Amino acid sequence: MNLKLTNFSTIIIVNKNQEQTRAIRVKTKHLNRLKHYITGIAAVFVMLALTIVYLTNRDSKEEQERQQLLSQIALLKSKLPAAEAAALATNTNKSSAQTYIESIQGKLQKINDYLRKRGLKGFSTNDIGGEKNADAKLSDNEKYSLYDEYLSRLLNSVAFTPMGYPRLSSITSAFGYRSDPFESGSAELHPGIDFRGAKGDPVRVTADGKVAFTGWKGGYGNCIMVQHKNDFQTLYGHLSHIDVRDGQEVKTGDIIGKVGSTGRSTGTHLHYEVRKNGRPVNPVKFLTLNN
């Protein structure tokens, strides 16, 4: 088949060093398609940039929520001695103390609502002081001391409860039963959630704790398990690299490994689990304070 010259375009390449030119004939339709390719690639980059901005803003908002909760607890603790002194300096010690304690109870109730959504149980303002002191007449000093102890326990619970994202990205597989990706037609329990990621992306621990295990763990591949003080444990699987050692103390937000596709994995991602007393619970409700 004879092709007309109008079906071709000529591209001239100039070599400045050798002062030579080179002409290349390319079909015109390919040049037209190239414009579409460039437009498509530009659109993809714009979408990626917008996604990064969105995820960064979401991460910042979650950290603000966490800091707000910690600040609220710390503020209550700092006010205890001042409130006691103010009450003792007046002739209405009983009413002042009672009013202040009622105010604390209302704020503690809101804090407890946050914590209960994360699986914490047993924290109640009715338990302050224990059953033995329920009917006892406590002095103002004893009451403030009991509330100070209670707030310390709440601070400890927040610090050692897994909160936030181990990796800031979208979730590709949810918690619960799903079809087995390796055996079609069968179902399996997925005890965690999967986060999208590229090989080498950083993985961060979601609460203070101690590294309980590092190494190869069956289908999890390269895996890290962190033990937290309030019966919680977190697991990070399919890693390409492990950056911590057994027994190491870690703080919230520390980088402990890198995303990979080791073990029983169909592609590069992070598998993340939250366990309470050894049993997996849905990590989604721990990602933000508003779940």
- The CATH number assigned to the domain holding 268 equals 2.70.70.10
108 lies in the same domain as 194: no
CA gap 224, 233 in Å, rounded = 10
Domain range holding 82?
Answer: 58-159
237 lies in the same domain as 152: no
Is residue 269 situated within a structural domain? yes
122 lies in the same domain as 194: no
Last residue of a domain, one of 159, 183, 200: 159
Last residue of a domain, one of 159, 184, 204: 159
Is residue 130 situated within a structural domain? yes
153 lies in the same domain as 194: no
Confidence of residue 45 (pLDDT cuts 50, 70, 90): confident
Q: Which residues contact 184 (CB under 8 A, 6 or more apart)?
A: none
114 lies in the same domain as 140: yes
Report strand pairing: 209-216 vs 269-276: unpaired
pTM of the predicted protein model = 0.52
Amino acid at 189: L
100 lies in the same domain as 199: no
192 lies in the same domain as 263: yes
**Phi/psi of residue 49, nearest 5 degrees:** -65, -45
As a three-state string, the secondary structure of the chain is CCCCHHHEEEEEEEECCCCEEEEEEEEHHHHHHHHHHHHHHHHHHHHHHHHHHHHHHHHHHHHHHHHHHHHHHHHHHHHHHHHHHHHHCCCCHHHHHHHHHHHHHHHHHHHHHHHHCCCCCCCCHHHCCCHHHCCCCCCHHHHHHHHHHHHHHHHHHHHCCCCCCCCCCCEEECCEEEECCCCCCCEEEECCEEEECCCCCEEECCCCEEEEEEEECHHHCEEEEEECCCCEEEEEEEECEECCCCCCEECCCCEEEECECCCCCCCCEEEEEEEECCEEECHHHHCCCCC
183 lies in the same domain as 248: yes
Is residue 11 situated within a structural domain? no
pLDDT in tens, 272-287: 999 999 999 888 877 7
Is residue 274 situated within a structural domain? yes
Amino acid at 235: L
Does residue 259 carry a pLDDT above 80? Answer: yes
What is the pLDDT, as a whole number, of residue 167? 78
Confidence of residue 27 (pLDDT cuts 50, 70, 90): low
Is residue 191 situated within a structural domain? yes
Structure tokens at 96: 């002042």
CA gap 42, 109 in Å, rounded = 51
pLDDT in tens, 220-258: 999 999 999 878 999 999 999 999 999 999 988 899 999
pLDDT in tens, 72-125: 777 776 665 555 555 544 444 555 666 666 667 666 776 666 556 555 544 555
Asked whether the beta carbons of 225 and 239 are under 8 A apart, the reply is: no
CA gap 17, 75 in Å, rounded = 71
Is residue 31 situated within a structural domain? no
CA gap 267, 236 in Å, rounded = 15
In this structure, of 34-38, 75-79, 130-134, the range with the lowest mean pLDDT score is 130-134
Domain count, the chain: 2
144 lies in the same domain as 217: no
137 lies in the same domain as 196: no
Residue 20 sits at the vertex; the CA angle it makes with 16 and 21, to the nearest 5 degrees, is 100
175 lies in the same domain as 282: yes
**Phi/psi of residue 205, nearest 5 degrees:** -75, 145
120 lies in the same domain as 196: no
Structure tokens at 33: 């398609």
Is residue 144 situated within a structural domain? yes
Q: What is the CA radius of gyration of the chain?
A: 29
Helix axes 93-116, 140-159, angle to 10 degrees: 20
Report strand pairing: 20-27 vs 8-15: antiparallel
Is residue 90 situated within a structural domain? yes
Residue corresponding to tokens 């890198």 = 258
Last residue of a domain, one of 159, 182, 208: 159
